Chain A
């Protein structure tokens, strides 16, 4: 089946089998390896991407379902060649150790801040509760999302 997806602003058309998973479409067909495959069973959340701005586990969606939709992966976070607020915050706050869960955490954080510019610690923990970090680095992940929200608010008001 012929499908066209917008990935990080660019259109990608390909002929795919209906059973092709979105995560493999992104990694193999589009060639963006920042979206990871962890459990492959809808549990760990490392394959999370934004579909029309909403976090979705891309191991549990077929690429054909995303036909005509707009996908954001971690590669799409940078703005004008510069790291986004959340990417800078993860770097500053040491919000990653091995980095495997990081792309998903940053995308979930981005969607959260978009919806709620001033999230509490509880709200952040709630929002990332579908994403596992096996380095147990949650404290700094929460701090990073909190810091990104703050710089985003400051950026919006300046």
Chain B
């Protein structure tokens, strides 16, 4: 299968890349890992007139941990996250990374690219929604920071303007009383999630839930954050009953479609089970930091 013809640009500096976007951003699609974009182009779901390959831009592959924040540059690959010690600063991120796509796709696919592509069945968007991440969008004349909730507009649609590029993804690090998890059911390695559940917990000194994050993959027409379930947890003392209550809310709020991966009823049940499991695992890690 072959994509439609396109012009290929491979800038060698970020300035050059941003100036290309400034001049002709409307017709340019950014090629990072290409593991979602190239298949879509081959199927002719996407036919960008110009492809700008950013893989030759220097210094965009770092994972930095600074002041309680985990920061991913634009070209950090999924496998870089799997192998990174720094990335363990956020448990939801480090536990999700090995479940993204398959080991070979993970060698090329990028975290930032996955978010910018915003396939509604992608794993990273749920992780970022649950952990309260933000993205740095850079253009040739400005830079802005956008919360993930505002960045993701709808399936394959984000708040990124044609002259902008996602240059960084910032995730809050978990404290010593924090924990997180990603539960994913897939038919085979590399398939989209049948159901995915990202969870994140921060406990206060007394052991109550100070902050909770829950987001679901593949059970709505986009990645779904569940504030109702998060609110049910916050301020409360963790228990199996409390987690079951939050899980029940998540399973009611989602709206899965019946398809080859399972019936809506089945997926709703899996959301319930996975949310309970994810919260229990997150808590297991978080309570280790209680004195």
The interface-forming segment of B5-13, B16-24, B114-122, B209-217 is B5-13
Please state if B35 and A65 are interface contacts (CB–CB under 8 Å). no
The interface-forming segment of B101-109, B152-160, B166-174 is B101-109
Does A103 touch B at the CB level, under 8 Å? no
Please state if B103 and A127 are interface contacts (CB–CB under 8 Å). yes
Known: A60-B34, A62-B8. A130 touches B55 (CB 8 A): no
Does A48 touch B at the CB level, under 8 Å? yes
List CB contacts (< 8 Å) of B210-234 with chain A: none
Closest chain-A Cβ to B52's Cβ sits at a distance in Å of 11
Please state if A130 and B103 are interface contacts (CB–CB under 8 Å). yes
Give Cα A2–Cα B260 distance, bound, in whole angstroms: 44
Please state if B190 and A41 are interface contacts (CB–CB under 8 Å). no
Helix, strand, loop or mixed for chain B's interface?
Answer: loop
Chain B residues in 8 Å Cβ range of A54:
107
Please state if A56 and B108 are interface contacts (CB–CB under 8 Å). yes
| Contact pattern, A 88-132, Cβ under 8 Å of B = 1, otherwise 0 | 000000000000000000001000000000000000001111110
Choose among B5, B53, B102 the residue that contacts A129 (Cβ–Cβ < 8 A): B102
Does A11 touch B at the CB level, under 8 Å? no
Find the B residue at minimum CB distance from A54: B107
Does B237 touch A at the CB level, under 8 Å? no
Chain A residues in 8 Å Cβ range of B51:
18
Known: A65-B55, A130-B103. A42 touches B35 (CB 8 A): yes
Does A150 touch B at the CB level, under 8 Å? no
List CB contacts (< 8 Å) of B129-164 with chain A: none
Task: Identify 23 residue pairs between A and B in the complex whose beta-carbon atoms are under 8 Å apart, listed by A's number.
Answer: A18-B5, A18-B51, A19-B2, A19-B6, A21-B2, A40-B1, A40-B42, A41-B42, A42-B105, A48-B104, A56-B104, A60-B34, A62-B8, A64-B10, A65-B31, A65-B34, A65-B53, A65-B55, A108-B104, A126-B103, A130-B101, A130-B105, A131-B104
